[in-house]
Amino acid sequence: MTDQPLQYVRTEMLEAKAPPSFQIGPLRWARENLFSGWLNSLLTLVSLYVILTLLAGVAPWFGHTVWNAGSLSECRKIIHSDFGPNADGACFAVIHERWNQLLYGFYPVEGYWRANLALVGMLLAIAPILFSQVPRKLLWLSALYPFLGFWLIWGGSLWFPISALLGFVVGGIAFRLMVEKSTVLAAAAGFVVAWLWWFFAAGPVDEGLSAVLPIALESVQSRDVGGFLLSIIIGISGITLSLPLGVLLALGRQSNMFFIRTVSVGFIEFIRGVPLITLLFTASLLLNYFLPPGTNFDLILRVVIMVTLFAAAYMAEVIRGGLAALPRGQYEAADALGLDYWMAQRLIIMPQALKISIPGIVNTFIGLFKDTTLVVFIGLLDPIGFINAIRATSDWNGIYWELYIFVGALFFVFCYGMSKYSMYLERKLQTDHH
Amino acid sequence: MKKSVILGMAGAACLAAGMATAGTLDEVKQRGELNCGVTTGLAGFAAPDANGVWQGFDVDYCRAVAAAVLGDPTKVKFVPTTGQTRFTALASGEVDMLARNTTWTFSRDVDLKFTFVAINYYDGQGFMVPKALGVSSAKELDGATVCIQTGTTTELNLADYFKANNMKYDPVPIETNAEGQQQFLAGACDVYTTDRSGLAATRATFAKPDDYVVLPEVISKEPLGPLVRQGDDQWADVVRWVANSLVEAEDLGITSANIEELSKGTNNPEINRILGTDGGLGKMLGLDDAWAKRAIAANGNYGEIFAANLGESTPIGLARGLNALWTHGGLQYSPPFR
């Protein structure tokens, strides 16, 4: 009886009917998002009009792009012969012709591979720091990279960066030997030993090894480093150096020790109260008067130091914000576990404080990278500097948008990359459950 | 204690700086390279080409000095300087000379302690207007909007000129020449004013240069020339007489084409003296006898340098005007070589 199908009940399901055409796909999306009321419809139409007018103005300009020409007048001639006498067009030929200059500055052509290799090395070196999936062994490359990168870009004897590196090694050994007794004492010992090495031993070691085994690249002067290479050198060194310095300053500002706190506060407030351009002028002009003539205190190095100090002061405040956001209980928990100051910072406080500060930190990084263009005011030829220089040649005088669009686009790629990475990092480190 | 160390170091540095400026000529010879300050880029005067080689009117002066002193016009390190950094770069010894279209003024010469050794370009401020405006003289510009670079002497000259002629104007402040070009082309101002060489260079870059005219009035004096630090007269003499030799060469008809021929000896004693065939002049400068020959051979005489970088065959297309030789109604004049 129960097996008997009921006569009035369907045995199979009805085919699902297609929804009405205005309820699916782009039509529905448009109806819900663009034309949901008369006000929104009006706004949509106005916006459409604005976008189309802009496109109508800009699209032909991009459409008439010329990629191969030796000068602006030649470019205009090509545009006029191809698209009519009144046509207007983009002349990206200038990028094509000055591509190398915008990227490398006056770096010797036969040395481009060195700059490229340094860039690839840099990507490899920062990969293990940025992504935990990358094999940990690459961290060795990260530690060695500053010396390798310096040698690749500036050339000279290989033993110079190596003898500088050895200073860190002997300092590290001294630290290791003393760390059993006291961390502070060990840090001081490591510091002193490293400086002693750099002042007295590094020079002879460099010369001795160069005499025995001369391995050297042709040396390149700092004046020849320019274009995006310069921006990246200043930006990356500033970024990598300012973060640790900023952490130390933030901790110093919260310290109970009067001297350290005063120095930190004074430094931070002084640097934040002075415009970056002033610091750059100090680096390039004022130091020239104080240093004995003939001292080869590299201009790029001076700029990197100033940019680093500047960014570090901002970084310190960003990280202080992160520290302030940590509940008091975290500090007390660390104390209750019997951790000393540095262990507590390393294991409990900093991981949390830095996580909180990520958006602020990346914000500072992006600002720093864009601020590198200010070096144009002290006569260094970064991409913006080269725009002026290129526009001053008789071939390209009068060109404008193309160069700025290109430089703007390159900067955008870098800054957008940084911002995307910070979002990825925030998602990855998210441990709270909503 | 710490303070005294820093002060001591600074003092030692200043002392050393004072000593080192004693002999720029010897320093350059020893270094084997001339450090020459140029602009970061100005049409016709200095700019790097596609191969990174600096070209221009000022650049050729650096090369001429390097050729005279070091025997090789390529042994120059060009140091790009901005309007703000140029004087410090020279004063601190970072560069040996400035060839950076710098106007010779009283305060720069006297107060900033520099020595202007020559005037290689007589410039002056002018006006450019669209032809459609129908203006043929600056006196008709009453009530015009003017694009003007802020913080320059041109701004002050403009105010003086309009005040003296009882006219009014509306300034449109701009920051750089590049911005000025765009604003002027977009019609944000009726008049664009800057040095006349700059106006000519700017006009040459327009898509339709014939639609614009440079008005005949010159409202200021802008004598441009190379300069060195004050107090090193030997070095100043070297740069001065290299500059003079280029003008004198044009006067005497010595060109880069015939210089080899003429240096074998001519019956004109002046040519023989300048080219070192009749020796003696070089030694007085602390150089060898062929110094001026090398300087002239590097880029040609003054006229050739002008023609190659600024003259009528270049896109900038400047006429010689005030920069013609004195024998042709201009101001370029060299004291005699004897």
Mean pLDDT for back-to-back runs of 10 residues, chain A (434 residues): 72 83 82 87 94 92 89 89 86 91 91 92 90 85 90 88 88 86 83 88 83 84 90 93 94 92 95 91 80 72 92 95 92 91 90 91 93 88 90 84 93 94 89 66
CATH fold label, B125-220:
D-Maltodextrin-Binding Protein; domain 2 (3.40.190)
- Under 8 Å between Cβ of A322 and A356: yes
* Chain B residue with minimum CA distance to A95: B50
| Residue whose C-alpha is closest to residue B158's, from B179, B181, B182, B174 | B174
Q: What is the DSSP string of B233-291?
A: HHHHHHHHHHHHHHHHHHHHT--TTTHHHHHT--S-HHHHHHTTSS-SHHHHHTS-TTH
Percent pLDDT > 70 in chain B is: 93
Cβ of A385 and B92 within 8 Å? no
- Which tokens in the block code for residue B47? 């700019």
Pairing mode, strands B212-214 and B191-195: unpaired
A259–chain B Cβ distance below 8 A for any pair: no
A384–chain B Cβ distance below 8 A for any pair: no
Cβ of B41 and A398 within 8 Å? no
Cβ of A392 and B182 within 8 Å? no
How far apart (Å, rounded) are the C-alpha atoms in residues B155 and B147?
10
How far apart (Å, rounded) are the C-alpha atoms in residues A63 and A84?
13
| Residue whose C-alpha is closest to residue B83's, from B8, B166, B177, B18 | B177
Percent pLDDT > 90 in chain B is: 57
From A47, A63, A79, the end of a domain falls on A63
Residue B193 has pLDDT above 60, yes or no: yes
- Return the CATH superfamily for domain B23-122+223-328: Periplasmic binding protein-like II (3.40.190.10)
| Chain A residues touching B100 at Cβ < 8 A | none
B180–chain A Cβ distance below 8 A for any pair: no
Decide which of B152 and A203 is more confident.
A203
Pairing mode, strands B97-103 and B34-39: parallel
Q: pLDDT tens digits, residue range B260-316?
A: 999 888 899 999 999 998 878 999 999 999 999 999 999 999 999 999 999 988 888
- Which tokens in the block code for residue A198? 């750099």
At B315 the pLDDT is 83
At B240 the pLDDT is 96
How far apart (Å, rounded) are the C-alpha atoms in residues B11 and B19?
12
* Averaged pLDDT score across all residues of chain B: 87
What is the residue extent of each domain of chain B? 23-122+223-328, 125-220
From A63, A83, A105, the end of a domain falls on A63
Decide which of B110 and B18 is more confident.
B110
| Residue whose C-alpha is closest to residue A174's, from A189, A195, A196 | A189
* Chain B residue with minimum CA distance to A77: B207
Cβ of A288 and B94 within 8 Å? yes
Give the pLDDT band of residue B12 (cuts 50, 70, 90): very low
B6–chain A Cβ distance below 8 A for any pair: no
How far apart (Å, rounded) are the C-alpha atoms in residues A360 and A105?
32
Decide which of B59 and B12 is more confident.
B59
Residue B327 DSSP symbol: G
The C-alpha of B64 sits at a distance from chain A's nearest C-alpha, in angstroms, of 21
| Chain B residues touching A292 at Cβ < 8 A | 12-13, 16-17, 20
Residue B1 has pLDDT above 70, yes or no: no
- Under 8 Å between Cβ of A119 and A232: yes
Cβ of A293 and B92 within 8 Å? yes
Pairing mode, strands B212-214 and B125-130: antiparallel
Residue B323 has pLDDT above 60, yes or no: yes
Q: pLDDT tens digits, residue range B237-263?
A: 999 999 999 999 999 999 999 999 998
How far apart (Å, rounded) are the C-alpha atoms in residues A275 and A286?
16
Cβ of A389 and B47 within 8 Å? yes
Greatest mean pLDDT among A163-172, A372-381, B25-34, B148-157: B25-34
The C-alpha of B126 sits at a distance from chain A's nearest C-alpha, in angstroms, of 19
| Chain B residues touching A400 at Cβ < 8 A | 178, 181-182
**Domain presence at residue A188:** no
At B298 the pLDDT is 94
| Chain A residues touching B206 at Cβ < 8 A | 398
**Domain presence at residue A323:** yes
- Under 8 Å between Cβ of B256 and B304: yes
Long-range contacts of A277-284 (CB under 8 A, 24+ apart): A277/A374, A277/A377, A279/A306, A279/A309, A279/A310, A280/A306, A280/A374, A280/A375, A280/A377, A280/A378, A281/A377, A281/A378, A281/B84, A281/B85, A282/A306, A283/A378, A284/A378, A284/A379, A284/B85, A284/B88
| Chain A residues touching B55 at Cβ < 8 A | 393
Long-range contacts of B76-79 (CB under 8 A, 24+ apart): B76/B33, B76/B34, B76/B35, B76/B36, B77/A221, B77/A223, B77/B33, B77/B34, B77/B35, B77/B36, B78/B36, B78/B38, B78/B46, B78/B54, B79/A223, B79/A379, B79/B35, B79/B36, B79/B37, B79/B38
Q: Name the residue facing A288 among B9, B92, B182 (closest C-beta).
A: B92
CATH number, residue A237: 1.10.3720.10
State the best of A101, A393, A401 to mutate against chain B, taking most chain B CBs within 10 Å: A393
- Under 8 Å between Cβ of A166 and A205: yes
Domain that holds residue A271: 220-399+420-434
B269–chain A Cβ distance below 8 A for any pair: no
At A134 the pLDDT is 84
Residue B16 has pLDDT above 50, yes or no: no
| Chain B residues touching A284 at Cβ < 8 A | 85, 88
- Under 8 Å between Cβ of B285 and B238: yes
Cβ of B40 and A388 within 8 Å? yes
At A39 the pLDDT is 92
Instruction: Count up the domains in chain A and report the number.
Output: 2
